[in-house]
Structure 1
Amino acid sequence: MLFDYSVGLLTVPIILLPTFSGVSNGVLSKFGVPNVYQAILVLTFLAYVQNSILAIFENRFHTLCTYFGKKLWVYLRIPWLLSHYFVIVFFLCLFGYIAPEQSSAVSKVLEILPCIGSTLQSNLIYVMAQDHTYHLILIVVFIAGSGFESLFFVGAIVFSTIKQLKRQKVSKKTFEMQRTFFIAIVIQIMVPLIMLIIPFIYAWIAVAFEYHNQSFTNFAVIIASMHGFVSTLVMLFVHHPYRKEILFWFSRSSRDFENNQWQSIRRVS
């Protein structure tokens, strides 16, 4: 949700792909917060979305699996997870530190995208990078690394659960409950994650092929900003207790409405 608020309220960015630049129109701009801090804030919360997914899978792994060194991992898991957050902040602050001199960088952006000069004030444009090779390498390394860790935990959970079932350490009923819950967790994570994957793929294509379409870019930002909203909806309908309670309240409201209507008709008659 922090990422959604940062995009939809705090910064409201107009991203100018294929360049690494944009304009902020959010609340932070009204309070005079420098653009570099706003860019770092949005990217930090975006990276923390991936970290939260990793933390969920690690928690399931630590809870369900029996493995060598588990007692040691009890003490290492928190520092391990915190290190991910600190590394993200460090490298994103480095992004801000190596940002180019803005006047010349903005002029270069206006040369690449001359059409935006008539619609946006040049003094509002912030350029994070002119040569984005370093940034792309770090982004790819981060996604690949965290993705590998997540897949490792998922694979370990599946392998351990099947192994326990074969050794009859868990009953079939317990296995089915764990399987249902795990599938629900995966759906809860993967469906909203699509809201980030689609914009990321478009951004990658736009940068790789130097393609500019501001309408598509704005639409991609809108899709990404809906990640938290979609995640909440999926959580409510995927997990049985939440779904059951929601359906109960909807059906109850419908019955109450019908009863009130019927009583009103009887009073009139």
Structure 2
Amino acid sequence: MTSALEKYYATNYSNCNLEYNFLASWKGVAYPSHVFQFISLPFQIFAFYVIIFKTPVAMKNVKTPLLINHLFCALLDLLLCTFSTVYYFLPMYGVFFVGVFSWFGIPNVLQILLVWLMMMLTGASYVYFFKCRSSILVQNKFRITRQKTRMIYYSLFFIPWMLTTYFEKLIPEDQDAARQFALTLHPCPTREFFTSEVLIILADNILIERFIWIFPIFGVYFASFPLFQVSTLIYYICIAPSNTISKDTQQRQKVFLFCILFQIFIPLIAVLPAGWVFIVYLTGRYYQTMMNVTFCSLGLHGLAESIAIVTVHRPYRKAVSHMLTEFKKRRRSIKVLPFLANHTRHSVTTGQ
């Protein structure tokens, strides 16, 4: 800490009377995130196995998009829960990381860009998943068939990532002055603000007022891509199905559509706390515990996504059920073998 921050910590901060709260501390976001990743990893690996080896012929068109989507979801979880676990001060626009990368001295700016990029790649994998499904429908007039058009389409999705080079210039060079300014916005942060290498992203009231609305604008922009693809799927499958396919095929398409929508909806529940925190913040209230719980809940996204994959789709459910049945049979056979061996040995000994 600089002398000014040390003086503030020794005098003004003592008047805050903040009680220790595990969930509000760095441990409250680091430890649960690491535990969630430890629990999620076996499920993620199992989902990879099911997609690769248990995908039926009827689902071969979505095997690759589903695999890509699951890969980026797993990588995002690995980043947020293990390598770049985020501790964020919303009122002050400050951030530091408590993951593995911080142990090796990876700069905060680089980790922010990495997390932002991985979030965008995960979002793009959802768009790719729905686009591949909608492209299969011959009657779809919005199909993207040309490679050039496809590249333009995805380039539009990554415009916010390209703009990060501009936002990076807004980060104050004088971080000591920026941290003192941040204390005027939120005089009583957790002790981590003083004991950690916090990076203040914005230190200007005008920029902060404008920056607040960037989050919902970007959210609407990102959501428009998958929502457009979902809308075309719903329209051409449920509202205006092709007359050239049988009723049975139409019914199977509807069932599969509802399955993939349900599959996507389940992990998105883990993202809802982020919107709640933003709304509470706009009302003038903020609790660090809420922010930490939000980032912990994001760590459950991959677990929910993995479970959704193997439970929503009927072929995968049948494959998992078959594997569990075979596993139980093997366990029973392993238990029976020692009994038979002992019984045979006893028969030989007694002459029976």
Corresponding residue of 2:244 = 169
CA distance in 2, matches of 1:129, 1:170: 56
Q: Once the 2 structures are TM-superposed, how far is the Cα of residue 73 of structure 1 from its aligned partner?
A: 4.8
CA distance in 1, matches of 2:112, 2:145: 38
How high is the sequence identity, in percent, across the aligned residues?
A: 20
In the TM superposition, 1:142-221 aligns within 5 A as 142-162=218-238, 165=241, 168-196=243-271, 198-221=272-295
Letter in 1 for 2:219: I
Query: Does structure 1 residue 90 correspond to structure 2 residue 162?
Result: yes
Q: Once the 2 structures are TM-superposed, how far is the Cα of residue 221 of structure 1 from its aligned partner?
A: 0.6
Asked if 2 retains the 8 angstrom alpha-carbon contact of 1:189 and 1:231, the reply is yes
Question: Can you list the C-alpha shifts for 1:183-228, whole angstroms capped at 9, x where unaligned?
Answer: 11111111111111x2321331243134332222211111112212
Which among 152, 158, 167 is matched to residue 79 of structure 1?
Answer: 152
Q: Once the 2 structures are TM-superposed, how far is the Cα of residue 54 of structure 1 from its aligned partner?
A: 2.0
Q: Once the 2 structures are TM-superposed, how far is the Cα of residue 151 of structure 1 from its aligned partner?
A: 2.5
> For structure 1, which segment, 127-136 or 236-245, has the greater mean C-alpha deviation from structure 2 after superposition?
127-136
TM-score, length basis structure 1 = 0.86
Corresponding residue of 2:103 = 30
Asked if 2 retains the 8 angstrom alpha-carbon contact of 1:11 and 1:25, the reply is yes
Asked if 2 retains the 8 angstrom alpha-carbon contact of 1:17 and 1:203, the reply is no
Q: Which has the larger radius of gyration?
A: 2
CA distance in 1, matches of 2:222, 2:162: 16
Corresponding residue of 2:120 = 47
Asked if 2 retains the 8 angstrom alpha-carbon contact of 1:44 and 1:92, the reply is no
SS at match of 1:124: coil
Asked if 2 retains the 8 angstrom alpha-carbon contact of 1:18 and 1:203, the reply is no
Asked if 2 retains the 8 angstrom alpha-carbon contact of 1:18 and 1:210, the reply is no
Which among 129, 136, 139 is matched to residue 215 of structure 2?
Answer: 139
CA distance in 2, matches of 1:32, 1:146: 32
Asked if 2 retains the 8 angstrom alpha-carbon contact of 1:57 and 1:154, the reply is yes
Corresponding residue of 1:105 = 178
The 3 A distance-change label for structure 1 pair 47 and 118 is same
Asked if 2 retains the 8 angstrom alpha-carbon contact of 1:24 and 1:35, the reply is yes
Query: Does structure 1 residue 252 correspond to structure 2 residue 323?
Result: no
Letter in 1 for 2:101: L
TM-score, length basis structure 2 = 0.68
RMSD (CA atoms): 2.5
* Runs of 4+ more than 6 Å apart: none
CA distance in 1, matches of 2:339, 2:144: 68
The 3 A distance-change label for structure 1 pair 5 and 133 is farther
Asked if 1 retains the 8 angstrom alpha-carbon contact of 2:277 and 2:290, the reply is no
Unaligned runs of 5+ in 2: 1-73, 344-352
CA distance in 2, matches of 1:13, 1:75: 37
Which among 191, 201, 206 is matched to residue 118 of structure 1?
Answer: 191
